[in-house]
Structure 1
Amino acid sequence: MDKSDMDTKPADSDPVGELLGVAAERAVPVVRAITDDQLTARTPCADYDVRELVDHLFHVVVQFQALAAKKSADFSHTPDHVGAGADWRERFAEETKQLVAAWSAPGAEEGTTGAMGLPARTVGCMVLLDLTVHVWDLARATGQEYRPDPAATGVLHTLGQAVADMAPTARKMGFFADPVPVPDGASDFERLLAETGRDPGWNRP
């Protein structure tokens, strides 16, 4: 993405580490509940089945720990985390815990980070978006309920602003599909999903 497209700081001032902690509380139970026979199921994220999406999200969680510490991240390939051992669900929980700790460390949101030199808070919001939207993808694909914590209004506020800032460039690069229409009365979260190109009413086949 072009740096100029990403320089707007989300209006919400809640620390990214706290927001990630809230998202992680909802994310880990969903991943833990995925059964082996569901790994080949389709997801609302058309490019991935459940296994591929878990591997992608796992990789994001690991690499964004490095970005919080102003270190280099490697997205050139996605390791096979699911195939690395039967304890992948608990390893995901541990890596997510480490992600929250990394973005809660002093200075994590200050300055810039990553190869593109983006504002660190913006980068933190990118992983918050993945840890929210992709977990919804996984929950829908495996028949689970998922909603962000309704008390954590900062999550939706921050994500909504971040998506609005990122969407034009993200669509050009293929990260987001075209927005999906939503009816009047749609929730903030449904509007967020629609803006990323997801159908909030998607159900597994």
Structure 2
Amino acid sequence: MQIKCRNCVVALIGSGILAFGLYHVHSFAGVTEGGVLGMTLLLHHWLHLSPAVSGLVMNLACYLLGWRLLGRTFILYSLVAGGGFSLFYAVCERFPPLWPGLMEMPLAAAVVGALFVGVGVGLSVRAGGAPGGDDALAMSISHLTGWSIQRVYLISDLVVLALSLSYIPFARLSYSLLTVVLSGQLIGLVQRIRLPGLTPETQQD
């Protein structure tokens, strides 16, 4: 097991971009993602389970699966990416939103948010780590099935959003659908970019 400094730097850059986008776009514009976040909200609505509990359990399960399938190096890079995300998000929270007007422009928020999520998560995944449980699950399924990672993201997010229609109007979910489709495709594109100096394990397509 060999940890590369360059991989850690790329993972941190990715988690910083992700934190910036989630704070300045998603949290203020009301546009959400699928995956674990969507499932926690669904379970809270129908089963009254706290997202703090359900989110912790699901994220731990996803990371455990990633560790079993992708190894200890994956977990270490994920700790860098996940820890970096928490740190960068805490820093972002100390500042007012850059684009408060996005709340009135959900279409623009969906597109801009997808750019930050796609590039941020894509860089972290390219470095070999996962900033969140969703990303660990997507990397694991992609490893098991040989499917492209954007295909895995699309399927998992669509399943969660479809279930969310049981309590959220389609008009509201339509913008979230747009952002998960765009961000999933971007993650796949960035994940395939050849970055000089990264370890061979992270350069697989």
Q: Which has the higher helix share?
A: 2
Q: TM-score, normalised by structure 1?
A: 0.35
